[in-house]
Structure 1
Amino acid sequence: MEKAPRSNDLRTRVGGQSGLERRPLVHVRLDDVDHRLLAALAEDARLANNALAQKVGIAPSTCLARVRRLRDEGVLRGFHADVDPALAGRPLQAIVAVRMHGAARSRLKAFLRELAELPGVMNVYLLGGAHDFFVHVAAPDSDGLNDFVIENLSANPGVALTETNLIFEHVRASWY
């Protein structure tokens, strides 16, 4: 029996039926052990609990409880595979800046969700500033990128402008 998603569950906040509601920002108190756990998981999210506990210097039962709390409180939003787009058949990456028409502003959040579901879209950012979105796309070739922009963005009546910037190299930062 599947349990109901928690209010801070990523499915509820982003991909679920309820969309992108704003959650009240609640500061979660993190101590040095929590920060070490987050750094270790950011480096390798596949670490087994025993290995993670040993790396951080705590008991496995403590480690399990702390990781569970970090997930329950929304600090850890999920665990992800870092797929190489080139090796997966999409070697051409771009950031496409999108500006919407003023009349389409009421659909920004819905369009954000629609963009995130398109094939080849790696990330979508809703912005403040000159552009409304940055869409990180991986395509098989320049024709595929061109087709993506024309069919999914330029053809949309709410889109006023697109600007495509090719990515020559990407290095995943370990920010934590």
Structure 2
Amino acid sequence: MARLDFESLSICEIETNNLRLDSVDVSLLQQLSDNGRRPNNALATHAGVAPSTALSRVRRLEEIGVIRGYHADLDLALLGFGIEALLFLRVQPNARTRMLGIARRLRAESQVQQVFVVGGDRDLVVDVICKSTSDLRDFLHHKIGSDLDLGSSSTSLVLETL
């Protein structure tokens, strides 16, 4: 989840990519990023606008893609997924033109939480969850090691998420 310094955003109007946000929009975004289930009346009161204005502003922010969705923050360990790992992958040189397709294919795997296309000595970072280290080993063997589009990889276990 994106965490922004909303204080710096509220100092002035934001104008980027033909997007114009004022202090009301920033207030609504801040409130929704803290609690995506906050009722519209509470959003409006905090932003100092009528409920109808808050509702139309939130709908506009959804329509233009600033708000991409609302998500539940799940405790995956309580659900039996006690292993989380970050996979740092290098795409084979002959597959670089297909990198986004490779990333999308990996994202479609049920164990994959997120895929990042990155710059540096690796091309992709994949966040996976597994029930056990043997499940992780199987994922690495069957989904990563057997993929001819992927070259070298390294794996780091996530010890704590803050």
Match of 2:153 in 1: 162
SS in 2 for 1:90: coil
Match of 1:31 in 2: 22
Determine if the alignment matches structure 1 residue 88 to structure 2 residue 83: no
More strand by proportion, 1 or 2? Answer: 2
Determine if the alignment matches structure 1 residue 60 to structure 2 residue 51: yes
Structure 1 residue 115 displacement after superposition: 0.9
Q: How does 1:112-151 map to 2 (within 5 A)?
A: 112-151=103-142
Structure 1 residue 56 displacement after superposition: 2.4
- Any unmatched runs of 5+ in structure 2? 1-15
1-structure distance, mates of 2:136, 2:30: 35
**AA at the equivalent of 1:124:** V
2-structure distance, mates of 1:86, 1:95: 16
Match of 2:36 in 1: 45
Structure 1 residue 149 displacement after superposition: 1.1
Q: How many residues align?
A: 147
- Structure 1 stretches of at least 4 aligned residues deviating more than 6 Å after TM superposition: none
**AA at the equivalent of 2:48:** G
SS in 2 for 1:29: strand
1-structure distance, mates of 2:134, 2:59: 45
2-structure distance, mates of 1:114, 1:34: 35
- 1:99-140 Cα offsets, whole Å, 9 max, x none, are 011001121111111111101111110111111100011110
Q: How does 1:74-85 map to 2 (within 5 A)?
A: 74-85=65-76
